[in-house]
Amino acid sequence: MKPSKLLTALTLSVFLCGGAAQVLAKGSADAQTVSSAKASAEGLQWRDFDSEVFAQAKRENKLILLDLEAVWCHWCHVMAEETYRDPDVIKALQRKFICVRVDQDSRPDLSNKYEQFGWPATIIFNADGRELLKHAGYINPGEMRKILKETVANADKKGADLLAAQAAVKPAAGADVLNKGQKTDDYSGLLPAVKEKLIAKHKAGYDTKYGGWSSYQKFLDFDSAEYAISRGLAGDKDEAAQARGALDGELNLLDPAFGGLYQYSTDGDWQHPHFEKVMAIQCEGLRLYCQGYMAYGDEKYLQAARSIEAFLSDFLRSPDGAYYTSQDADLKQGEHSGEYFKLGRAERLKEGLPRIDKHIYSRENGLAINALTYLYRATGEKKYLDKAIAAAQWIEANRSLKDSPGGFRHDAEDKAGPYLSDTLAMGRAYLSLYEVTADRSWLAKARLCADFMGRHFQVDNQPGFVTAQPETGSDSRGHGHLVVLAPQPLLDENVMASRFANLLYQYTGAAAYKDYGLRALRFLCQPLVVNQRQIFVAGILLADGENHSLPLHVTITGGKGDAEAAALFARAIRLTPVYKRVEWYDRAEGALPNADTELPELPRAAAFSCGDGRCSRPVYSPEDLVKMVDRLTQAAAGGEAAVR
């Protein structure tokens, strides 16, 4: 089956791809050479996506076709080899279109904007930047000829219809739950009726037959799984069962020979995988299996996490310790490789390897660093922490914006940007490194990322954070620039931004970060946003819940060289709650960054649970720490049940 639409919850997804004009690029050094040779062979002149393409379209009285693809995508390869080599398609495109090809991994702004269409995605614009057509998935030559003919014939009419539709737009269903006279910018949380609606969507979206929160295309939705784990730990047995069902289903997509996760399965079950291995899927899957292992103690989840990390180390880790982007679905591009992926490791290696995209992106490395900290939490094995730190150091040395701390280039050179997703992924990675090391230098770097986010990705009078830095002189509606080029706030990025900023506030006490978390949440709570998805809504629930509650707060006291304190800290970072704040207070380093509680000076290392300005009695062993947290968690779950 040809995939037409794939939603993921990171869909940081995401998240998942963007880039320079290439299908067969072997790396950044030869990408343009390969792309140019391919364009020449096809008879089409592919160009990059920028504002000049619209000026060119006006001069030449043409439309613009954007081929948004992924270098690892089987049907992208097929479409490039068949559809765009068809003589009649070539003639139609040369006559009335400017052709633009973008590897979505290299352009997070375009990737995130059109991710709901899957790859390949085909978008046709007029010279004013209005979208005349958006098509999800593979288009065969005959269908493409028809699309091009009809779009040209109806271009003027479609543009007029779009303007009329925009003028006549009405509030989405559910907007009436707002209080009368209340503006969406004025509230900072989900109203009760909206929250209940989202919970109902989350529950109804679960596949009771096969597990997971999707039907035809099966994959692990990260936010949904994390929300279910969190609710399960709070006492909801149904959510716990759904979390385990999703994690168990995803095990079917674990490559038994090379390790790593295939991206998804078709046909409504877990038995028809598409074989590409995308970095975001590996990293978030690794993180979720570690969370599942820490929550349920099931060894198969830890084995899955180790298998994913082994794939990253064997195939996607550069000699310098940074991480590449993806492994292709095809051994030979455009040819199904199902028989190849049935082979064992040795037999596959004799046949060769699917191509590795050796671009090194800040976003993907941030995801990898964060995931590796979870494997370190789950196992205590320092080799995983060392790999996370090595990747962080490489990105700092090679991708950071030297004149603007906290910002990063996406690639070695960017055609646009900076992008929110790079700063977010690295900010979350730094905060995770602080959580598992208590090294305050990582916290300082996380703060720089949040500060950069606040300076570069806000638009006045608009909630949320936009996906890329707005051009000077343009607002969120693109005044002074083409609307299609104006960066927009996106759901998944604002979920991550809200959760990251709020947790950073918990660790630092800096009010600006609390405001950032609520700013992103205000965007997520708008009716048009909460109604845009029917299934994958758990990220909004996570962000709302965390911004309006305190995390489990555990503080270890004792010197950094104290073995008892180190043992307590190692156990604390493995605690099961998803939303937690773990700190290590060594008096030699001065007050904690957020000194919101007063801790007694004791003659030996101890652990406290703190909240609302108060701390529990001290405990002195890892076993007693777990018992204390279990009591607190059960009490909190009982209180919540009573309220509900």
- In the prediction, which pLDDT does 18 show? 28
DSSP letter at 169 equals -
pLDDT of amino acid 638: 61
Of all residues in the chain, the percent with pLDDT exceeding 90 is: 69
In degrees and rounded to multiples of 5, residue 481 shows phi and psi of -145, 170
Find the range with the poorest average confidence among 9-23, 288-302, 543-557, 619-633: 9-23
pLDDT of 212 reads 96
Reduced to 3 states, what is the DSSP secondary structure of residue 39? helix
486 CB burial (10 A radius; 0-12, 13-18, 19+): buried
In order of start, what are the domains of the chain with their CATH numbers?
A: 31-167 (3.40.30.10), 552-643 (3.40.30)
Least confident of 85-94, 464-473, 506-515, 541-550: 464-473
Per-residue model confidence as pLDDT tens digits over 524-550: 999 989 998 889 999 999 999 999 999
Per-residue burial over 258-275, b if 16 or more Cβ lie within 10 Å, else e, is bbbbbbbbbeeebebbbb
- Integer Cα distance of 386 and 433 in angstroms: 11
Give residue 72's pLDDT. 85
Tokens matching residue 251? 């095990």
> Cβ distance 279 to 366 under 8 Å?
no
Please name the residue that has the structure tokens 């050796």.
Answer: 358
pLDDT of residue 417: 85
pLDDT > 80? residue 197: yes
Predicted local confidence at residue 165, as pLDDT: 43
The string of pLDDT tens digits covering residues 25-58 is: 233 333 333 343 344 344 788 998 888 899 999 9
Burial code of 371-390, b = ≥16 C-beta within 10 A, e = fewer? Answer: bbbbbbbbbeeeebbebbbb
For residues 172-176, give the mean pLDDT: 34
pLDDT at 508: 98
Look at phi and psi of residue 612 and say left if phi exceeds 0, alpha if psi is from -120 to 50, else beta: left
Task: Provide the token pair at 172.
Answer: 């989405």
Residue 110: pLDDT above 70? Answer: yes
Residue in 417, 399, 325 with CA at minimum distance from that of residue 368: 325
536 close to 9: Cβ distance less than 8 angstroms: yes
More confident residue, 554 or 417: 554
For 153-166, the pLDDT digits (tens) are 988 665 445 444 43
In this predicted structure, the answer to whether residue 477 has a pLDDT above a threshold of 80 is no
pLDDT > 70? residue 174 = no
Tell me what the mean pLDDT of segment 462-486 comes to.
66
Of 221-235, 449-463, 599-613, least confident by mean pLDDT is 599-613
How many other CB atoms are there within 10 angstroms of residue 116's CB atom? 17
Residue 482's pLDDT is 56
End-to-end CA distance of the chain: 44
Q: What is the pLDDT of residues 296-347, one digit of tens each?
A: 999 999 999 999 999 999 999 999 999 999 999 999 988 889 999 999 999 9
Work out the pLDDT band at 644, boundaries 50, 70, 90.
very low
Q: How many Å apart are CA 240 and CA 292, to the nearest integer?
A: 10
For residue 89, pLDDT over 50 is answered with: yes
In this predicted model, what pLDDT tens digit does every residue of 600-616 receive, in sequence order?
Answer: 889 999 999 987 667 78
Mean pLDDT for 245-263 is 98
What pLDDT is attached to residue 612? Answer: 67
**E-assigned strands of 48-142?**
63-69, 97-103, 121-125, 131-136
- Say what the pLDDT of residue 472 is: 59
| pLDDT > 90? residue 279 | yes
